[in-house]
Chain A
């Protein structure tokens, strides 16, 4: 049973518009959430994270929102750029960010069209 779910395998967005990637989780013990970006033939790279004590974290064009009651988080990219085209993975852990056992979703492939 998948504990972290990314129900949209792909998303296509026009350059300059907002990209919204969604993630749902089932384990109420998760207290730390991360987003990773992956380009082909490269390993995943860390993008942004959020602790369960917050509901929003922002870093430049990237904002992550956490809704604990709905067990849902989303990543907003504004404005989207062609270089953002990649696979985005949502990940969660129950160790407050200090554990390595991250549970990943299956990923959402984002395509940003010029």
Chain B
């Protein structure tokens, strides 16, 4: 399978715990994005990387959230001291810079439930 893969697919945690999601993009893609989607809403942009550089962060990304892409390949999104409002689907996407179509390739998402 050469698509974007995300792990875990589902995570249930208690409020106050830390969680980490992993994303493996399509191998030749140099851009990687994180979005969040809650029920009844469209995906909301969180942050994106070009290679290992984090180029843009949304105001939605509070200081409890941190994303890394240390070697320009896979990425992790960590949420510290989770709150019930963090419950959402976390979507990762990748693209090839310069392609010009604006097309992002999304993974199936990691669903977080905070109890």
Footprint of B on A, CB under 8 Å? 4, 32, 34, 36, 41-46, 49, 89, 91, 93, 95-107
Contact = CB atoms under 8 A, between A and B. Distances in A.
Contacts of A101: 45, 48, 56, 58
10 contacts: A4-B42, A44-B43, A46-B104, A93-B102, A98-B99, A98-B102, A100-B31, A100-B56, A101-B48, A101-B58
A102 B56 CA distance: 12
Residue from the set A45, A96, A102 with the largest chain B CB neighbour count within 10 Å: A102
Interface of A is mostly: loop
Contacts of A95: 102
A103 B33 CA distance: 13
Given A100-B104, A106-B40, 14 more contacts: A41-B108, A43-B106, A44-B106, A46-B105, A89-B43, A93-B102, A97-B102, A98-B100, A100-B31, A100-B56, A100-B95, A101-B45, A101-B48, A101-B58
Interface of B: 4, 31, 33, 40-45, 48, 56, 58, 91, 93, 95, 97-109
Contacts of B33: 100
A93 B104 CA distance: 12
Residue from the set B41, B48, B56, B108 with the largest chain A CB neighbour count within 10 Å: B41
A100 B45 CA distance: 8
A93 B101 CA distance: 11
A49 B104 CA distance: 11
A49 B109 CA distance: 23
B48 to A, nearest CB: 4
